[in-house]
Amino acid sequence: MHALIALAQVNPHVGALEKNLETMIAFARRAAEAGARLVVFPELVLTGYPPEDLLHKPLFLDRLREVERRWHRALGELNIDAVYGSIRQGAHGLINAGIHVAGGREAGFAGKRWLPNFGVFDEQRYFESCRTVRAFAFEGMPFGITICEDLWRSGDPVAQLARTEASFLININASPYHIRKQRERETVAWQRIVESGLPVMYVNMVGGQDELVFDGGSFAMNRDGTVAVRAEGFQEALTFVTVTREPGGVVAFGSGPVVPEPDEDAEIYQALMLGLRDYVTKNGFRSVVLGLSGGIDSALTAAIGVDALGAERVQALMMPSEYTSQASLEDARAIADRLGIRLGSVAIGPMFAAFRAQLAGEFAGLPEDSTEENLQARIRGTLLMAVANKKGGMVVTTGNKSEVSVGYATLYGDMAGGYSVLKDLLKERVYALSRARNRWAEARGELPPIPERVLERPPSAELRPDQKDEDSLPPYPVLDRILELYVEREQGVEEIVARGLDPATVLRVVRLVDGNEYKRRQAAPGVRVTRRAFGKDRRYPITNGFRVS
């Protein structure tokens, strides 16, 4: 006995119930036309993930119920069964549920038992744990439904399902991306298979939601650990799995397309593109605007913008001052020409002079310092916001995680904007991705978008004569290593120093990180690619008297 199941890796829009319903019906129709008997969708697919405090709105829940009634009718008309994620009412609150619909009617649901409340997750705020376990009927091959975190825990509910009549598991997910997350997922699936003896279908969401990116990568894994099928990452996909009951009642998944995992640079780059594209399109912006300085950060941001949105939806602005080098002017023009984007130019010298003249009385007798540097950055931020407002676009900031960590950025200046593409990339990673982007262009016979001089020149904010980043910061390889250990791994000063790093440098960097929480709290959201991004992952009080030393 065999049957065809479709894994619907879709990109829902949080809160857009009607739009999500249309997407689901379209995928179910395609699945039915291909001969599938069951179509499986991700966790909380109708609401999008995470719906957060929308779940506290009675009107939202009322509309969700009405949309679900229409969804069930549509499934009956299409003559296909479904498993999908939605909300059900529990004894004391809401349940994050996996719903099974058969013959156009709800056959039952499985509730999520393990509610993650760490990292970016906050599910205990919204849901109650559900301990009911049951198997569902499909073509004589009963299956169990688990939801995301349930698969990551040894024991129940997977162990309970193995003791029931279940022949295989369907795990529905809204599993956000971080570097090499797909390997972790497949390792966890194999661990549960070893424990339970049940093969696993894993269906993941795809798309960007604020700082989160869901990378898809849906797969089916057999009892021997082989991946029978794997969907393309970072895009919607409908993937088909042939399910067969073998002699002795053992269920196996037939071999199909197994899309290889991309290398690490390509994986991160796709996440950045998807995060930016969905933030722009789902929030209704026509275009993006960025300051193109001729430096590495703005060059990579521009390239990602073009790859994600198209050159016609990206505008760059060069805003030179008396400190801007000729090399920066030439490089900014070269980047814009190679990417095919419009480059405007507005000199900030006259505005800077006007501000200084107006403030002369207040500043009398005081030496020049970072105040004048920050003033230039704020003038540029104002110009970018004005251009974006006038043209219906959104300002994309160009700062990286190294700068954001230590406060080497100006509030209401270069931090001003709607989205921060490089927010979770340390400076060394920015260079690595820039070189990778150039390699990909060369492999296609194209001119690399980022001139070699941009990759070689010492980075500089160019806010005073002959300025270099290393005038204010440790060399980036040293800085990034300390930040990786302190921010991403939560190691203390003594642990970091024990790795051979200079104690004074470590202490200085740690104090800079701790002292700039107020800036990060006001920063634009940005794509999360590591386990510890600045956002929901890392929640420290701004007013904080604790000192590491």
How far CA 40 is from CA of 44, 53, 327, in Å, comes to: 12, 26, 54
Q: Per-residue pLDDT tens for 368-427?
A: 999 999 999 999 999 999 999 999 999 999 999 999 999 999 999 999 999 999 999 999
pTM over 0.85: yes
pLDDT of residue 309: 98
Q: Per-residue pLDDT tens for 147-197?
A: 999 999 999 999 999 998 899 999 999 999 999 999 999 999 999 999 999
CA–CA gap between residue 170 and residue 145 (Å, rounded): 5
Looking at the annotation, which residues are catalytic? 43, 112, 148
Cis peptide before 51 (omega within 30 of 0): no
User: What is the Cα 525 distance to its own chain's centre?
Assistant: 10
CATH number for the domain running over 2-261? 3.60.110.10
Alpha helices in 396-491 (DSSP H): 401-406, 427-443, 452-456, 476-483
β-partners of residue 241 are 5
CA–CA gap between residue 282 and residue 13 (Å, rounded): 7
Fold of 270-521: Rossmann fold (3.40.50)
Q: What angle do CA 240, 242, 245 make, to 5 degrees?
A: 155
The mean pLDDT value of the chain amounts to 95
pLDDT of residue 250: 85
pLDDT of residue 469: 80
Domain ranges of the chain: 2-261, 270-521
The amino acid at 126? Y
Q: Per-residue pLDDT tens for 286-326?
A: 999 999 999 999 999 999 999 999 999 999 999 999 998 99
* Inter-axis angle of helices 427-443 and 296-309, nearest 10: 50
Q: Per-residue pLDDT tens for 436-463?
A: 999 999 999 999 999 999 999 988 887 7
CB 287 within 8 A of CB 309: yes
Q: Per-residue pLDDT tens for 2-26?
A: 899 999 999 999 999 999 999 999 9
CA–CA gap between residue 292 and residue 390 (Å, rounded): 19
